[in-house]
Structure formats: structure tokens, C-alpha cells
């Protein structure tokens, strides 16, 4: 439900301790785990000692705080809107939640207006790697920094030495590090979407600026989330075996991959046995044709290996209890994609007829591109 913060305090919920919770911190309260997300304005450096970049984000960080649940948890997440002159919502990407909790403005709820809050309450049904973000003007609010990881642990997790969660994204900034406000440009919409000019890993500029220190022989579960609005990542780590065990939060049969493709909104869980020599350095690369470059540096500690051979424990995850589609009764729909989206005016083919895309955007105010 949406209400002002003053009205919320009058309900007595704050005296139960909810409003006093530190940002993003959960605790048990009458069988429910409570979280607080504050959407607001702040600045954050993309490199150590670098210029500050302006962001909108949750709890003054990009990405927002990691929300970590267990399957079956009942959760209550209070979203406060501290943005100036901007409505927002929170959507739980990939989670099965009651319709009223899905965070879609004017469909499942009214937007959260500045100074107001909304209490999202649901029971977590599925384990996996998910994320949260607004569905209010997503094309602007997500690139500005309103997103964060959401992890649901399995009842019987696989054996690894540790987990690493990386949220990949990008941002479009000027020479002084300030965000450019050219969201919703027709040229971006009509082509490949709005790409940033700086790639981020957990809010830090990709490259040598991002380092994962490992010990030889260590097994790591790497949870990757693509929070970029248009960028497709194609990841490659030479001389290492990458095995995917989950895709978009759902378990898959483990498979070895030479490259890992990650489109906007997608998630993948990888198991990586780091077996290179102590003291060696390696690069996690993005080899996509549009954005080739280094994402992170893998730095092996100059220490004795954790083990000489890869861990032999199984890595296959138990599947979530999802309803299976009735394929026998499925209805076929055919969508024909046609080009011609470049030029001025921007022309596309709709129902076989040349159509001015800019006129649609100006008149209808809503359009889909794929």
C-alpha cells in the first residue's frame, strides 16, 4: 500500500522497530523479515580517487544493498521515495509474487510519490539469483542507478568455497563524470538502445579497477546480473573452465561454456574452479562486438593452493517447483522483424507498412522495440 511517511508513522509500524532498521538490514519480526529501501539522490566515485558521479539509487549506493533471503521466507520491504519530483516503484525481477506486489505503475499499484512509501509483502517461493529495480520510467531510473541484487539461497546449497555477486551495468557520463540526461532519445530507441560509455561492475569502472583475488584451487560460485538497459555482455575468461548451473534464477543441467552471453536483465550462475598458478594474473573479458574490453582482473594470491585438484562435489542445483506449460494446447504467434530503423526520419515496418517511428513516440507516448 502507498502512504505518506507521516501516516505510516501514525500506524504504529515504526514503534515496532521497522522504521528504525538500518538501510537494507533484515531481522526476524513476528515471523517476517523486514528490509528498508530508500530511493534517493547521491554521488559516488567510479574509481578510487576519481571524480564523483551523480546517481539515483537505493540506500546511497550503486548497486543498492544485496537482499538475501531463504526459500519460504516471509518478507516485508518498505520502499521510501526520497527522490525530488520523481515517482518510482520497486519490481522484483524474476520472483513470483502476488500481483499487487509486482511494482508495475498503474497496473499493480500507483507509483510511490516523493515523500511517500510503499510496503511490499510476500513469501519467497523460488531460490536463485534475481534483482530489483523500478518499473516507473525504467529507461531512465535504472541507468541512473536504481537497481540492486536479490539472492535467494537454496535449502541444500552446492559445495563451494565462497560466493561472489557481480552486478554488471553501464552509465553515460561527460568528461567531468556527470551523468548525461539524454534518456529517451529516439535514435537510441530506434537502434540498439541506450548504451553507456563506461561499464560498471558493482558500481565501479570495469577494467583493472575491479579485482577478484583468489587462491589457486578455490571453487567460487559467481552470480552475474546484467542491470544494463541495452548492453549485451559476452564474457570470456581464458584458461579457465566456466560452468553454468542456473539461468535467470532457474537451475539448469551444468554445462561448460567458452563464452557467457548475458543480455539486459539476465542472470547466470557460474561455478569456476580457479586452478592457475599462484601469483598469476588473468583478465575477465567482454568480447561482444560492440563493447570489447576488460571487465575485471583475476589475481591469484601468491600462497599455497587450497587444493591441487578441482573439488569433486556435485554442482547440479535442485529445480524450483515451477508449473509446466501445456505445450499441446499452445497457440502459435508469428512476429516478423523487419529493418529500416536508421535514417531521418526513423522508419520501421509495422504490419508490412513503412511507419514513422518518431510520430508514434510523439503521439502514442508508448512504444516497444526489440
pLDDT over threshold 80, residue 6: no
Residue 102, C-beta contacts closer than 8 angstroms, at least 6 positions apart = 91, 92, 108, 109
pLDDT over threshold 80, residue 318: yes
Q: pLDDT category, 289, cuts 50, 70, 90? A: confident
Please classify residue 165 by burial: count the beta carbons closer than 10 Å to its beta carbon, then call 0-12 exposed, 13-18 middle and 19+ buried. Answer: buried
Q: What is the DSSP letter of 19?
A: T
Q: Is residue 339 part of a domain?
A: yes
Interval 98-119 mean pLDDT? 97
Q: What is the pLDDT of residues 182-216, one digit of tens each?
A: 987 877 777 778 899 999 999 999 999 999 999 99
Domain that holds residue 57: 2-153
Interval 82-95 mean pLDDT? 98
Q: pLDDT category, 242, cuts 50, 70, 90? A: very high
Q: Which helix (H) or strand (E) is 74 found in, with range?
A: strand 74-81
DSSP per-residue string spanning 153-187: E-SSPPP-SEEEEEEEEEE-B-TTSPBP--TT-HH
Q: Is residue 314 part of a domain?
A: no
Final residue of a structural domain among 300, 316, 350? 300
- Indicate the number of domains in the chain: 3
Q: Is residue 317 part of a domain?
A: no
Distance CA 273, CA 315 (A): 11
Same domain, 144 and 222: no
Same domain, 254 and 211: yes
Final residue of a structural domain among 153, 174, 204? 153
pTM, two decimals, is: 0.85
Same domain, 136 and 187: no
Of these ranges, 2-16, 292-306, 341-355, the one predicted with the greatest mean pLDDT is 292-306
Q: Is residue 305 part of a domain?
A: no
Q: Is residue 318 part of a domain?
A: no
Distance CA 338, CA 55 (A): 36
Q: What is the chain's percent helix, strand, coil content, to nearest 5?
A: 10, 40, 50
Same domain, 105 and 143: yes
* Torsion over CA: 198, 203, 208, 214 (sign): negative
Q: CA angle 154-158-163, nearest 5°?
A: 85
Same domain, 8 and 146: yes
Same domain, 39 and 111: yes
Q: Is residue 277 part of a domain?
A: yes
Give the CATH number of the domain where residue 177 resides: 2.60.40.420
Amino acid at each position: 500500500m502507498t502512504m505518506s511517511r507521516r501516516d505510516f508513522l501514525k500506524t504504529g509500524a515504526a514503534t515496532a522497530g521497522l522504521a528504525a532498521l538500518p538501510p537494507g538490514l533484515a531481522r526476524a519480526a513476528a515471523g517476517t523479515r523486514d528490509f528498508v529501501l530508500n530511493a534517493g539522490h547521491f554521488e559516488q566515485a567510479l574509481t578510487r580517487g576519481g571524480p564523483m558521479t551523480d546517481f539515483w539509487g537505493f540506500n546511497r549506493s550503486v548497486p543498492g544493498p544485496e537482499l538475501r533471503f531463504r526459500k519460504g521466507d516471509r518478507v516485508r520491504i518498505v520502499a521510501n521515495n526520497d527522490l525530488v519530483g520523481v515517482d518510482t516503484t520497486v519490481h522484483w525481477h524474476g520472483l513470483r509474487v502476488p500481483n499487487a506486489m509486482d511494482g508495475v505503475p498503474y497496473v499493480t499499484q500507483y507509483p510511490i510519490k516523493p515523500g511517500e512509501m510503499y510496503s511490499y509483502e510476500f513469501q519467497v517461493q523460488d531460490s536463485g539469483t534475481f534483482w530489483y529495480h523500478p518499473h516507473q520510467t525504467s529507461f531512465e531510473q535504472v541507468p541512473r542507478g536504481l537497481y540492486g541484487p536479490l539472492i535467494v539461497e537454496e535449502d541444500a546449497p552446492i559445495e563451494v568455497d565462497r560466493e561472489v555477486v557481480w552486478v554488471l551495468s553501464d552509465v553515460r557520463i561527460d568528461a567531468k563524470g556527470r551523468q548525461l540526461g539524454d534518456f529517451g532519445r529516439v535514435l537510441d530507441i530506434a537502434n540498439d538502445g541506450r548504451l553507456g560509455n563506461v561499464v560498471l561492475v558493482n558500481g565501479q569502472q570495469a577494467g583493472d579497477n575491479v579485482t577478484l583475488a583468489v587462491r589457486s584451487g578455490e571453487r567460487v560460485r559467481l552470480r552475474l546480473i546484467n542491470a544494463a538497459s541495452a548492453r549485451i555482455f559476452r564474457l570470456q575468461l581464458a584458461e579457465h573452465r566456466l560452468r553454468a548451473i542456473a539461468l535467470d534464477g532457474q537451475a539448469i543441467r551444468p554445462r561448460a561454456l567458452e563464452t557467457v552471453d548475458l543480455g539486459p536483465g539476465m542472470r547466470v550462475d557460474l561455478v569456476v574452479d580457479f586452478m592457475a598458478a599462484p601469483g598469476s594474473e588473468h583478465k575477465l573479458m567482454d568480447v561482444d562486438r560492440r563493447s570489447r574490453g576488460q571487465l575485471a582482473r583475476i589475481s591469484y594470491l601468491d600462497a599455497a593452493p587450497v587444493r591441487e585438484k578441482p573439488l569433486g562435489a556435485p554442482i547440479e542445483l535442485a529445480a524450483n517447483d515451477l508449473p509446466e506449460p501445456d505445450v499441446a494446447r499452445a497457440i502459435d504467434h508469428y512476429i516478423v522483424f523487419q529493418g529500416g530503423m536508421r535514417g531521418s526520419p526513423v522508419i520501421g515496418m509495422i504490419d508490412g507498412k513503412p511507419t514513422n517511428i518518431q510520430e508514434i513516440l510523439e503521439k502514442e507516448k508508448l512504444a516497444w522495440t526489440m
